[in-house]
A and B are shown apart, each in its own frame.
Chain A
């Protein structure tokens, strides 16, 4: 793959019930990402937006942000899914030799609708939807299958929540920074066992944008470029009943391909910082295994050991992760933006000192049907 860098990033603060409309949110991050890169819209060759008609309450919702995302008068396309997939599409377009730069935007104002009804409508209308499945109950089934198979405890899941909400106190964009204990998580109300209130990400409004550039266009930027070393995604079966819920098979496959592309042989030793899509506390543990940070069933011990804490050898979610800010479809792109800040050394109080290789992870679909893995570096894959 030719060298492609991320040369600009921007995020809004994540919070509940933002009063800007979704086009205004997209304009805010598009403008900020251009400013971050030191570019003007004229420097952008094409645009990839990210919308969901149910969340946005409008058919072909991408059309309504043509001006805000800079799509007006240029080649623009759209992804319905997590922002990591929009960035993947943006990367392909950047590599096509047709476009030298790509602006990728994502936004979420799911607070304007009825999130739990919308999540129920992800499910097959003949079967699971009629039985009332939603994001929380389906994830509880996944958590049960995973925890039961490997003896992962609720306390170990709670440690993820304590770590990430604690890290969020260092992130000015985070929605829910909290100073909590394992006992606080264990005593929080049961929603669908084994999942309790403090095991679940909030529903946040917000937006994020990044700018990708081919090597010959990178020099125009004003920030230290962050290079794409490896990237892959993989999709599992639609029905939960067809998946082995105790494993993240699609993540294993995506990670294997992304690592091969990036030349990563031992991710737990080579990766300096990871931002993963922890919509629920158990997910971070399941993703450790899928990403090869430890063996199958070993995540409980990994979180207990403190390796993935800020003082550990492989800090995971220094930003506070998705548990601390969950703008749906934005959250994966936010993982990429956070990794970019880490590799530039601009992550402020959440900076992992000397980070050189970072991993960003996004998911889409019921209980993460699709996984996307990005390996990012402060140096190009091929010599410039």
Chain B
């Protein structure tokens, strides 16, 4: 067989294999307190910047605008309005389990009363004709809560 430069008779592929790297993220004080709020108080906690007055949810140590440590905790309750939504129809793998996620799934940003930022979660409504920006929603909590974002099962229209 005639050899040509820079050509192989076959171009091969190799797989990485299925080895996993598991991470254990420290949640830190602010995120822990937020998750404990879900687990133990079934409420949503934010934190206010004493310099600019913005209330952040989920809470975080530093206000990006003021570069100040935030310490003033705010109980935001469980109700807010829809800031944006999308009904996802593209099948997807659930990052928690590796199993196919059920679609349609409605992602929303919830604007809580008294907060300046928004929390992402799911809405229990797959019919997009019944969802409007600005509609009132409230958090539905699971009975068995473990201190994760999934302690909120989903949001539902009030």
Contacts and interface: CB of A to CB of B under 8 A. Distances in A.
Interface string A185-229: 000011111110000000000000000000000000000000000
Contact of B25 (A125, A141, A145, A192): A125
A124 B27 CA distance: 11
A130 B96 contact: yes
B95 interface: yes
B121 to A, nearest CB: 6
Given A240-B109, A241-B119, A130 B149 contact: yes
Given A137-B107, A193-B128, A241 B133 contact: no
B150 interface: yes
B60 to A, nearest CB: 9
Contacts of B148: 126, 130
Residue from the set A57, A127, A189 with the largest chain B CB neighbour count within 10 Å = A127
Nearest to B133: A148
Interface residues of B, number: 39
Interface residues of A, number: 38
A132 interface: yes
A117 B85 contact: no
A235 to B, nearest CB: 9
Contacts of A190: 87, 89
B51 interface: no
A132 B92 contact: yes
Interface string A102-124: 00000000000000110011000
Contacts of B122: 131
Given A130-B148, A141-B86, A240-B118, 12 more contacts: A19-B11, A117-B95, A128-B120, A130-B96, A131-B121, A131-B149, A132-B95, A133-B107, A137-B107, A193-B87, A193-B89, A245-B83
